[in-house]
Amino acid sequence: MAEEPHMDQSLFKYEIVAEDPKTHARAGVLHTPHGDIETPIFMPVGTKANVKGIPTETVKDLGAQIVLANTYHLAMRPGADTIAELGGLHTFMNWHGPILTDSGGFQIFSHSDAVKLTDESVRFIATDYDGSHVFWTPEDNMDIAMKLGSDICMQLDQCPGYPATRKFVERAVELSSIWAERCYKAHTRDDQALFGIVQGGMHLDLRLRSLKHLEEIGDFPGYGIGGYSVGEPHEVMFETLEPLVSEHMPRLKPRYLMGVGNPTTLVRGVGCGIDMFDCVLPTRTGRMGTAFSSQGRMNLKNAKFAKDPRPIDEKCTCPVCTGGYSRALIRHMVTQKEMLGGILLSQHNIYFLLDLMRRARQAIIDGRYAEFQAEWMASEGAADF
């Protein structure tokens, strides 16, 4: 039996504004203490309290409504106590809109052999910092999240990679469910929403088991969907993601597909009924010289752009494409390792995804998302892998 909510989460309301008649896409509004979020939405990632290379005011000007930060990295440096002492994450980041912090679970388990798991906790070696041995319980994780003070935080979970044996994934579901209950009981901030995370790998029955456990634990105001985009082919992901979201997840709760950020997967995910996405892809690939575009993914290091006076994407209205920066100039900066090249590409890529979601939302409201998705899939832009 589901418990009565152990605290007031009334500051977090999700309203459905429109539902597409031919797909499972929906447009909504998620209300938070630091502002409303119009969905579907892409959320830029500011892992260590900043979106790499981009000032906060620029991130906002690009159209971002909510940004992410990473619990593990912030707990390591500068530390949750320091951030709390400085007024919380919004003040520390100089971002005064909504913030989501992930649990740090994905980063912890990326330490692979250095991780030891029990029902009680996770122990790992912070090899990417000082090599210290770190011990985290779900209660510790919630304590850090509450000190950071994000609008939305995520439960501590185990994220199995791909491929993995069914036995391994089954154990990850069990452990994530145990930890979800402890996170739910330990979390006490009324002005911070705690989302549960659905795990289960590529096994639909395990996904449904995970979701059932979360619903039995209590009234989570939203759900993350973890354990995708961890090495599996995209078609394999959608085999279980589509029925999970469209047929089984609660209709009146926001659904957040974690760690997915290429344009085509966003378009297809919205069609399944996903509301929220995040990924480091737009900034990471931008720093590597790569751009999303209406012609597909572009490698600006390519010699064919050396004398190309056109903007990155002639259909794009971002500040980079409308600001006079040519493909030739950006290629020059990227090949000469001028930092501005990666910064401009990061700005373009973030804007591209935000604008794609704006147009998707309008298509849902207009009742033509099926046509929008079909047009995207038939376009050159869909070649984004």
The active-site residue out of 102, 151, 313, 384 is 102
Contacts of 130 (CB under 8 A, 6+ apart): none
- HSE of 299, CA atoms in CB hemisphere, 13 A: 5
Q: Is 106 annotated as a binding residue?
A: yes
Q: Is 227 annotated as a binding residue?
A: yes
Q: Is 105 annotated as a binding residue?
A: yes
Number of H helices, E strands in the chain: 14, 16
Q: Is 321 annotated as a binding residue?
A: yes
For residues 361 and 376, give the distance between their C-alpha atoms in angstroms, rounded to a whole number. Answer: 14
Q: Is 157 annotated as a binding residue?
A: yes
Which is it for strands 26-32 and 35-39: parallel, antiparallel or unpaired?
Answer: antiparallel
User: Is 278 a catalytic site residue?
Assistant: yes
**Nearest CA to 9 among 242, 190, 249?**
190
For residues 80 and 46, give the distance between their C-alpha atoms in angstroms, rounded to a whole number. Answer: 16
Judge contact between 278 and 43, C-beta under 8 A. Answer: yes
**Nearest CA to 46 among 109, 113, 111, 92?**
92
Radius of gyration of the chain (CA): 20
The active-site residue out of 20, 275, 278, 313 is 278
Q: Is 103 annotated as a binding residue?
A: yes
For residues 73 and 131, give the distance between their C-alpha atoms in angstroms, rounded to a whole number. Answer: 14
Q: Is 107 annotated as a binding residue?
A: no
Beginning with the edge strand found earlier in the chain, give each strand of the sheet holding 35-39 in spatial order.
13-19, 26-32, 35-39
Helices (H), the chain: 56-61, 71-76, 80-85, 89-93, 105-109, 138-148, 166-186, 204-217, 234-243, 263-272, 281-287, 327-335, 339-365, 369-377
Q: Which residues are catalytic?
A: 102, 278
- Residue numbers in the known binding site for Zn(2+) are 316, 318, 321, 348
- Residue numbers in the known binding site for substrate are 102-106, 157, 199, 227
- Residue numbers in the known binding site are 102-106, 157, 199, 227, 316, 318, 321, 348
